Amino acid sequence: MSRHLFSLRFSWVLALAVAGCDEAGQGGADAGGACTSGALVAQCPPGTNPILGAQAVSACEGAAGGVVLDGQGQATGQCYGQGSCRVACQFAVPCRCGVASVGRDGVACAPCDGAASCGNGACEGGETPANCPIDCGSTCEADERRCDGEVLEVCNLQGRWERLPCPQGEACVFGATPGSAACERDPGIIGGADGGVVTDGGVVEDGRLIPGDGSWPDGAVGPAPTAPFPRQLQVTDVAIRLDDGSVQNRPTPFAQLMSAAGSRFLWRWRLMPGDPIVIEGFGRASTLRVDERGGVFNVPRVDYPRATPEQFCAAYAACNGPVPPEQCAATMAPYLDARFVDPEWLVDCLAANAAEDCDLFLFFAPTCAENPHFPLPEGTDLVVNEVALVGDRLLGGPPDRSQMVAIDLASGELHRQEPLPGYLVGISTEGKALSADGRVAVGIGQQGNDSLLVVWDIDRGVRRAVQPMSGNGISRMAVGGDGRVLATVGSSDDPAVNRLIVLWNLEEERRIVSIRPPENEAQQGFAVLEISPDGRLLVVDVDQQTALEVWELGQRPQKIQVLDPGGNDRISQVAFAPDGRTLAVVQGAGPLAQISLWDAVDGQRWRTEPVSPGEVREVRFSDDGRRLLTLRQDGTLAFYFKVFGP
């Protein structure tokens, strides 16, 4: 550009600027006099472009130290003046790492040697709130507190999180109000064993064991433990809405998929092995999988040919009338934007099938498949939310509760237990249990006030009725890893047997031993009765459901730990990892609910996480022992999955 053309261009820009500045000064100057454009422009150093008027006011709004920053934290200009009488001196080249000086000789950018990349989420390498607000701006409220595993994090005065590891013997615990947390004494670490509850080397207190005439089975009592559950964990959150947030509360495509699968609420969810994270859920008529990005799809899916807009229009026209060729792409676009559905597959499916079934344009993916996936054998009708899942084996019962039904999800094979005349079996999930190897199922058969235990060897097809009872109710049961030991707990009007934990040898059909509840234990229902997958540990809730006892099983069980998360919130769920000793514990409800991870053998709690919003419906470790899944539900609004993994 010639010097003459540059002078003309600068004069034109300056004239516009003067006009804008004069207009701004008509209402009285903020700097103590008329807004003089020449004086403002004169403050801009050589090589910068002066901007005045409303444009300058907007650019300078919130500029820290007068430095104008763009969305990437780069310095793009320097502001002078006050109020509506301002000039923004726009830099010819943005300063990526901040400004060293702005003066008569021009603009000098700060060197980037050693500076981190602005926008990487870390405030470092010379970055400041002024030159990189995206990294160094406030992310939390001062003195806000939270737990990151065993580490307490406190928000400093600059609005940034600082890590404060808890002292030895203490654990980070979330407080009663949002944004509060503290390091608190962990009785399982300080006291050793069970925090001081047991004083005789871990041997059970006298008077709580009632020997039976059965024997403890010889040999291993469960599958071999997996590798220890990893201590260094990352947390992945997956949120799936069930309505679209509108006033009409229209169901999302995910909710439509669930309805087509047989229920708004699926029976069970589990983690698929490998990466990336895939969560699988089972319904009456179909299976859904959710990936870590929140995408949802039926499986297995037909691989349809990739559809062009013209092919999509042909299927659309068969149901809705012809579409001009130039509008085909616009007609297809809304289907590509459908939430929680693989959009390209949806379009391919519609293009291939919708001409023969116009309802597909209304219901999208729930029925958009040539052969809808049906993981349960045809004719199976299990009761929703009354199903136990272990590995690839699903245990449930039909609506008439006449028998137990087991399904091999991998092979699709259906097993039916021979009905027990006159008895209802498996009234709830607490009324049936499945061994860790998936071979033996136990259910409660009930007829009036009489009940009995039904033991079913699924692979051999053998059903036995054992241990009839009258006037006694079993509220919880757990089966040992190989199906030879059963633990039950229940209530009775007879105080001598009320709330007894009873261990049975199912092969001998004899009671091995009973464990009385702790002295002065309050009379309330049971929340927890679990046997570890290897069959060596038993966990039961005590102290009004606020603590857990851990027992090492055998002919003479020994109590080895009492796990006390602290507080008065009740424990609602636990789950053992396949390693046989890592225990996930859910405590509390609503916004104060939290999940903690424990070593059930040495009593150490090593991680605590909040699990709100919503109520926790399911806690499950993956079969390979590498990940933990929690499912929370916020009414009918959304599902929230939290996945802990390496």
Residue 501 clears pLDDT 80, i.e. is over it = yes
Whole-angstrom distance, CA of residue 229 vs CA of residue 620? 13
Residues 417 and 558 in one domain: yes
Give the pLDDT score at 297.
66
Last residue of a domain, one of 367, 387, 408: 367
Q: Which of 196, 103, 175, 40 is nearest to 561 (CA)?
A: 196
- Show Cβ contacts of residue 559 under 8 Å, excluding neighbours closer than 6 positions: 194, 198, 202, 204, 205, 549, 550, 551, 552
Instruction: Note whether residue 274 is domain-resident.
Output: no
Both 361 and 510 in one domain: the answer is no
386-400 residue pLDDT tens: 778 888 888 887 777
Is the predicted pLDDT of residue 477 greater than 80, yes or no? yes
pLDDT for position 373: 47
Q: Are residues 85 and 150 located together in one domain of the fold? A: no
Q: Say yes or no: 617 and 528 in one domain.
A: yes
Which 8-state DSSP code applies to residue 80? Answer: E
State which of 277-281, 406-410, 530-534 shows the largest mean pLDDT. Answer: 530-534
Instruction: Choose between 261 and 311: higher pLDDT.
Output: 311
Burial degree of 607 (CB within 10 A; 0-12, 13-18, 19+): buried
Which of 243-247, 376-380, 382-386 ranks highest by mean pLDDT? 243-247
Lowest mean pLDDT among 64-78, 175-189, 257-271, 401-415: 175-189
Share of the chain above pLDDT 70, in %: 72
- Residue 546: how many CA atoms within 13 Å on its side-chain side? 8
Give the pLDDT score at 41.
84
- Residue 372: what pLDDT? 43
Residue 299 lies in a domain: no
528 pLDDT above the threshold of 70: yes
The model's pLDDT over 126-137, given as tens digits with 9 standing for 90+, comes to: 566 666 666 676
Residue 464 lies in a domain: yes
- pLDDT for position 196: 27
- Could you report the per-residue pLDDT of 103-125, keeping only the tens digit for each? 877 888 888 765 556 666 566 65
Residue 474 pLDDT class (50, 70, 90 cuts)? confident
Q: Is residue 331 assigned to a domain?
A: yes
Rounded mean pLDDT of the chain?
Answer: 76
pLDDT for the residue 134? 63
pTM above 0.85, yes or no: no
Last residue of a domain, one of 367, 385, 405: 367
**Structure confidence at residue 191 (pLDDT):** 24
Stretch 406-413: mean pLDDT, rounded?
A: 82
The domain spanning residue 427 has which CATH number?
2.130.10.10
The mean pLDDT value for 45-55 works out to 85
User: Quick one: 53 and 96 in the same domain?
Assistant: yes
Domain that holds residue 478: 209-233+374-645
Same domain, 476 and 517: yes
Indicate if 428 and 381 belong to the same structural domain: yes
Mean pLDDT of 287-298: 75
Instruction: Categorize the per-residue pLDDT at 229 as very low, low, confident or very high, splitting at 50, 70 and 90.
Output: very high
Which pLDDT belongs to residue 2?
Answer: 37
Domain membership of residue 633 (yes or no) is yes
User: Is 304 inside any structural domain?
Assistant: no
Same-domain check for residues 514 and 601? yes
Helix, strand and coil content of the chain, in percent to the nearest 5, comes to 15, 35, 50
In a shared domain, residues 350 and 378? no
User: What one-character DSSP code corresponds to residue 561?
Assistant: E
Question: Is 255 inside a domain boundary?
Answer: no
466 found inside a domain: yes
Residue 290 has pLDDT above 80, yes or no: yes
Look at residue 123 in the predicted model and tell me its pLDDT. Answer: 66
How is residue 278 written in tokens? 């895939």
Residues 327, 407: one domain? Answer: no
- Domain shared by 494 and 611, yes or no: yes
Does 432 or 71 have the greater pLDDT score?
432
- Domain count within the chain: 4
Verify that 95 and 19 share a domain, yes or no.
Answer: yes
